Structure 1
Amino acid sequence: MGQMHRVSWRLVCGVFLCFCLSAVSLQAQTLQRGESRGVADSVDSESLSDQSWAQFRGPGARGVSAGAQVPEVWSATENVAWKRDLPGRGWSSPVVWGRHVFLTTVVNTGKSEEPKKGLYFGGDRTAPPQSVHQWKVLCLDLVTGEVQWEHQVHEGPPQSSIHIKSSFASETAVTDGERVYFCFGNLGIYCFDFAGQQLWRHELGAVPMRFGWGTAASPVLHAGRLYYCCDNDQQSYLLALDAVTGKQLWRTDREDKSNWSTPFIWQHDQRTEIVTAGTGGTVSYDLEGKVLWSIRGGMSSITIATPYAADGLLYVSSGYVLDPNRPIYAIRPGASGDITPEKGVTSSEYIAWLQPTAAPYNPSTLVSGERLFVLYDRGFVAGVHARTGAPLFEQQRLPNGRAFTASPWAAAGRIFCLNEDGVTFVLQDSDKYELVRKNVLAEDDMGMASPAIAGDRLLIRTSARLYCFRNGGATAGSESGSDQ
């Protein structure tokens, strides 16, 4: 890290950090509970895009739904299929498979400090709370909102601290269609079947994170393996587990320190690789944990956004607001070794384009068609050409947008941006900036988690509850057991 960054740590200590935290139609046949059918080949494959939202940001980690009937208009009372109050606090996103909706939460049995919205100093809490907490995993019915099962996987005082805006349940679960894998970065990974039976667990243990901000990176699945990246201030590592048994297959130590970016499984014509983004750079590994290529340096001093691929290019971003380095990279497949660009160089054999000061802080960028949209934490949005990086429209302020943490999503010709006040700004998916409308939730709905989409249903988790939105609202059988 450069001298400027070393000095800046004392200045930014305690600055706000929250975590990106963060399917499309119902399956024709609901999976039978307890039926053993093996592990799906890969949850990020396009074949699942019409049936699931199985991981953070859905198919391919892109935040894009192919559904044409996804709601565009909603409020706390309009187009609500159901809403369910949630215990505790968690910024993990819901994930969906068939009629199963999975999410995590942690309940503080003592007095909780309420999160404060926006970007600010003073949110770090270096000492863990002393009160007893309860780590819980839940499964809800997508159609009715009923809780199918709920299990407490741990109880006790936390062994690590978190930022005031974060939660002890910021990691999003992942599912292969038969099993669901819940992750608490300061505790462990827990595998359940769809009937709610715990199959295995892998202890992670508390690790020191920069400024005591806690963990947030989510696990990912591919070909019967679960991968988890734990970048921390003690010893960072990338981990591979057998998805069926939980057995550790390998662990590769990493040079990076604390980061909050979820790894990405990049499948292209030449190979499949595991892409990780961090403060020290971007590193790609093969499926056995060997480094394939890297970009060293050039990232911002805090990395949160998740890499993803679209139309043959890999997109990586890192944009801490107080850092002069805020790059967005578009990378071609097939690289090997060190592909770090020289200073001032914005393209090369494997770097299609580089915008060195364009990235957002918490939200991941979004590619829809030929456009890449950038949602900035302070309420601005910009558009560039996804393949060239050429500007489509300069930064535009979303009116009274204030603060954004959740990543944007695309569906049915629209771009959606949820702010921390629970207001979603709906934009036209076009080369020009056009605000279509705003959707406002209840006053107690703080929005930090990225949503999930299941067919014609949109799931938004807030600080208070989980909403399921659908055009026309509730249908027959969808009100039973719900709070709507």
Structure 2
Amino acid sequence: MHRIVVVALGVLLAAGAAAAGQEDWLQFRGPAAGVVPDDPNLPERWSETENVVWTLDVPGLAWSSPVIAGNSVFVTSAISAGEEPEPIKGLYDPGMENGSEASLNEHRWMLYAIDFRSGRPLWQRELYSAPPPGKRHLKNSFASETPVTDGRRVYVYFGAVGQVAAFNMSGETIWTRELDVYNTLLEMGTAASPILHDDRLYIVNDNTTRSFLAAFDKNTGEKIWEIERDERGQNWSTPFVWEHDLRTELVTAGTQGVRSYDLDGELLWELHGMSGLTIPTPFTSHGLVYISSGYPGGGLRPVYAVRPGAAGDISLFPEDAMRRGITSGFPGPLTSSEDIAWSYPLLGTYNTTAIVYGDIYYTLLDRGFLVAHDARTGEEIYGRRRLEIGNGFTASPWAYNGKLFLLSEDGETYVVKAGSEFEILHKNPLNEMTLATPAIARGSLFIRTQSKLYRIAKGGGQ
């Protein structure tokens, strides 16, 4: 097992990385929203020792996902100089006993580059050092945003301290920017990840003071534009660049509304009728963009499959339904419109983002149920199927080799047969709390638990 040893700012341990290729994992959920081309080298069984190529101890606490470019695996963390309360699994709102949590301890916000082959640290960079200015939900971290890379540089955003930075593959600082720091509803902390498209870096920060979406020049860090958003700090959803035959759109999910912008920040269309908190990330398949939110107990927990070319307000539900909620049973009636191919009012999830694998839209409900619908029409394939009593889910699912992989907060991955019949094939335990969505590249699976990063491959990479 390797271990990251925290050293002084700027120490270079090693350098070099291959150019990004088709098999890299450059952003949160990868290039195809968790779907990976079939590969016989990809693992289907693992444990803390089985099929493990290497394991690395990562200091601090962060629920950001790893990203991979060439020979470098990038992870971030926030390292406290003192003791911090342990995160608690499950669904709960902040309260006197379980958050929101302030910390008086100095923290170090870090970026690590790790060798893909060996798991040895290549270099590390400290972006900021201070006590956190705001609070976080006990289950959140001060470093939950996933970095993004184009294979030449890696870009990091820490919303908790307003730091944005770009580094080359050798760890040299290209630029840094300091943004204003805001918090979210009930001081739960931040989590929406940055994204890249062409020469721009996009950041969304929905907060209780001044919500915004901003575009930066990825080469210089200069702000190109910024627009304010009518949001109230109830969102942790990563934005999505939707490229289709008609145009390229920047789709953002929010509690006050889904909004799609052109690449200059002009509003193209909007959609109202979301749940009280919004976390899932929009994604595309079959020519549609899928958007959802599902705060538990809310009267509206929708899924929308939106067609290309929409304009104006395309809201589906009447205002009184959005205000009072839907009273029908799960998942509610299947509906559609000119701009929305299909929708259910109660199918949305709280933390996890759905996945389309083949022709099926799979919903992983946070309390451990899997549901399947036709990705094009929304017709039900099978209803709620229980994975196991007692397990909660935050990480989003992934799929390859005809199987779905569903990672619980307990660190157990349920391997489910893809298709019209629900069947649990087996489960793979890592025996540690896990909230981060994994990354997959070149025949290897990378899972981040609370304290470790695993590289897993069939045969342990032999």
TM-score (norm 1): 0.86
Q: Answer yes or no: is the 8 Å Cα contact 1:67–1:456 preserved in 2.
A: no
Residue matched to 1:454: 441
Displacement of 1:120 in angstroms is: 2.5
Structure 2 SS opposite 1:319: coil
Residue matched to 1:329: 304
Q: Answer yes or no: is the 8 Å Cα contact 1:124–1:213 preserved in 2.
A: no
Displacement of 1:67 in angstroms is: 3.6
Q: Is 2:69 the partner of 1:102?
A: no
Residue matched to 1:346: 335
Residue matched to 1:364: 353
Structure 1 SS opposite 2:381: strand
Q: Is 2:127 the partner of 1:153?
A: yes
Q: 1:422, 1:369 → 2: CA distance?
A: 26
Q: Answer yes or no: is the 8 Å Cα contact 1:33–1:193 preserved in 2.
A: no
Displacement of 1:127 in angstroms is: 5.9
Residue matched to 1:284: 260
Q: 1:291, 1:412 → 2: CA distance?
A: 39
Q: 1:214, 1:204 → 2: CA distance?
A: 15
Residue matched to 1:21: none
Alignment of 1:85-484 (within 5 A): 85-121=57-93, 122=95, 125-126=99-100, 128-187=102-161, 188-258=163-233, 259-296=235-272, 298-343=273-318, 346-400=335-389, 402-442=391-431, 445-475=432-462
TM-score (norm 2): 0.90
Q: Give the partner amino acid of 2:189.
A: G
Superposed CA RMSD: 1.6
Q: 2:180, 2:53 → 1: CA distance?
A: 39
Structure 2 SS opposite 1:349: coil
Displacement of 1:219 in angstroms is: 0.5
Q: 2:392, 2:257 → 1: CA distance?
A: 27
Residue matched to 2:325: none
Q: Say if 1:186 and 1:310 are closer, same or farther in 2 by CA, change over 3 A.
A: same
Displacement of 1:400 in angstroms is: 3.6
Q: Answer yes or no: is the 8 Å Cα contact 1:81–1:468 preserved in 2.
A: yes
Q: Give the partner amino acid of 1:327.
A: P
Displacement of 1:131 in angstroms is: 0.9
**1:23-45 C-alpha deviation (Å, 9 max, x unpaired):** xxxxxxxxx9499x9xx9xxxxx
Q: Say if 1:342 and 1:133 are closer, same or farther in 2 by CA, change over 3 A.
A: closer
Q: 1:65, 1:205 → 2: CA distance?
A: 37
Q: 2:453, 2:317 → 1: CA distance?
A: 47
Q: Answer yes or no: is the 8 Å Cα contact 1:260–1:303 preserved in 2.
A: yes
Q: 1:201, 1:87 → 2: CA distance?
A: 23
Structure 2 regions of 5+ residues with no counterpart?
Answer: 1-14, 322-333
Which stretch has the larger CA shift, 97-106 or 199-208? 199-208
Q: 1:269, 1:315 → 2: CA distance?
A: 17
Q: 1:113, 1:205 → 2: CA distance?
A: 27
**1:320-351 C-alpha deviation (Å, 9 max, x unpaired):** 01201100000000011111124388211110
Displacement of 1:198 in angstroms is: 1.1
Structure 2 SS opposite 1:53: coil
Q: Say if 1:425 and 1:127 are closer, same or farther in 2 by CA, change over 3 A.
A: closer
Residue matched to 2:329: none
Q: 2:143, 2:376 → 1: CA distance?
A: 35
Q: 2:301, 2:288 → 1: CA distance?
A: 19
Which structure would you say has the larger RCO, counting Cα contacts within 8 Å and 6 or more residues apart? 1
Displacement of 1:128 in angstroms is: 2.6
**1:102-161 C-alpha deviation (Å, 9 max, x unpaired):** 110011111110001111343664563111111110000111101000111111100011
Structure 2 SS opposite 1:278: coil
Structure 2 SS opposite 1:472: helix
Displacement of 1:208 in angstroms is: 2.5
**1:3-57 C-alpha deviation (Å, 9 max, x unpaired):** xxxxxxxxxxxxxxxxxxxxxxxxxxxxx9499x9xx9xxxxxxx6x32110000
Q: Say if 1:401 and 1:97 are closer, same or farther in 2 by CA, change over 3 A.
A: farther
Q: Answer yes or no: is the 8 Å Cα contact 2:84–2:103 preserved in 1.
A: no
- Which residue of the other structure, out of 11, 19, 37, is the alignment partner of 1:66? 37
Q: 2:52, 2:380 → 1: CA distance?
A: 37
Q: Give the partner amino acid of 2:445.
A: L
Q: Identity of counterpart residues, as a percentage?
A: 45
Q: Give the partner amino acid of 2:137.
A: H
Q: 2:157, 2:337 → 1: CA distance?
A: 38
Q: Answer yes or no: is the 8 Å Cα contact 1:66–1:412 preserved in 2.
A: yes
Q: 1:395, 1:310 → 2: CA distance?
A: 22
Q: Give the partner amino acid of 1:416.
A: F
**1:257-304 C-alpha deviation (Å, 9 max, x unpaired):** 2110000000000100100000011100000000000012x1000000
Structure 2 SS opposite 1:473: helix
Structure 1 SS opposite 2:186: helix
Q: Answer yes or no: is the 8 Å Cα contact 1:186–1:205 preserved in 2.
A: no
Q: Say if 1:127 and 1:427 are closer, same or farther in 2 by CA, change over 3 A.
A: closer
